[in-house]
């Protein structure tokens, strides 16, 4: 009887110890994983920041103006090239269907 009790006690204590050690080992393993993920996140953030800076450089007004002028031959419209489109009545009061989008200017040629 005593022998059985001692065996049960030993097994129980060993089990508890093993569970405790397993838990600790798992915490450490997850710590490593977390560290690796944080490094990945930092790398992605770094890449995002770099791309955002590049986008910002590419969409700078100076560059857009130069690209539009040099490559596409665009330039600001002259006074006679701007045509104002009269407004339609507010939507809901007209029976001619949906209101067309408001245009402020259009190219009329030189």
Partner 1 sequence: MNRSFMKKECKLTGEGSGRRVFVGLCFLVGFAILLFRFFDLQVLQAETMMQKARQQHEKIITLNSNRGAIVDRQGKPLALNLDVPSVYATPSSIDSPTRVARQLAGVLGVPRKPLEKRLRNKRDFVWIQRKIEDSQVGRLNDLALPGVGVMVETRRFYPKGTLLAHVLGFAGMDSQGLEGLENGYDEHLRGQVRRVVLQRDALGRVIIPESQRKSQPLSGHAISLTIDEVIQYIAEQALEQTVRNTKARGGAVLVMAPKTGQMLAWALRPTFDPNHIHQASPERWRNRGVTDPYEPGSTLKVVLAAAALESKSITPDTLLYAGDGEIPISGTVIHDHEKAGWVTFREAIQRSSNVAFVKMSWELGREQVYQYLRTFGFGEKTGIDLPGESIGILRRPDQWSQRTLPSLAIGQEIAVTPLQLLTAVSAVANEGWLMRPFLVREISDHRGKSVWEHVPHIRRRPISAGTAKTVTDLLVNVVERGTGKRAAIPGYRVAGKTGTAQKVDPATGTYSSTKFVGSFVGFVPAEDPQLAILVMIDEPQGPAWGGVVAAPVFRKVAEQALRYLSVAPGEEARMVASRSRPALDGYQPNWE
CB of 19 to partner 1, least distance (A): 19
The 3-state secondary structure of 15-73 reads: HHHHHHHHHHHHHHHHHHHHHHHHHHHHHHHHHHHHHHHHHHHHCCHHHHHHHHHHCCC
**Alpha carbons 110 and 104: distance in angstroms, whole number:** 18
- Name the one range near partner 1 by CB under 8 A: 1-9, 10-18, 67-75, 85-93: 85-93
Is 60 a binding residue for partner 1 by CB under 8 A? The answer is yes
Nearest to 88 by CA among 76, 100, 79, 77: 100
- x/- site string to partner 1, residues 4 to 43, per CB under 8 A? -----------------------xx--xx-xx--x-----
Site of interaction with partner 1 (CB under 8 A): 27-28, 31-32, 34-35, 38, 46, 49-50, 52-53, 56-57, 59-62, 65, 76, 79, 82, 84-87, 102, 104-105
């Amino acid at each position: 009887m005593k022998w059985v009790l001692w065996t049960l006690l030993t097994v129980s204590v060993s089990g508890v110890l093993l569970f405790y050690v397993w838990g600790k080992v798992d915490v450490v393993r997850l710590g490593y994983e977390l560290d690796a993920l944080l490094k990945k996140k930092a790398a992605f953030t770094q890449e995002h920041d770099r791309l955002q800076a590049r986008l910002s450089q590419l969409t700078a007004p100076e560059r857009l103006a130069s690209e539009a002028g040099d490559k596409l031959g665009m330039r600001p419209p002259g006074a006679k090239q701007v045509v104002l489109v009269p407004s339609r009545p507010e939507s809901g009061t007209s029976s001619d269907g949906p209101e067309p989008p408001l245009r402020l200017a259009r190219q009329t040629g030189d």
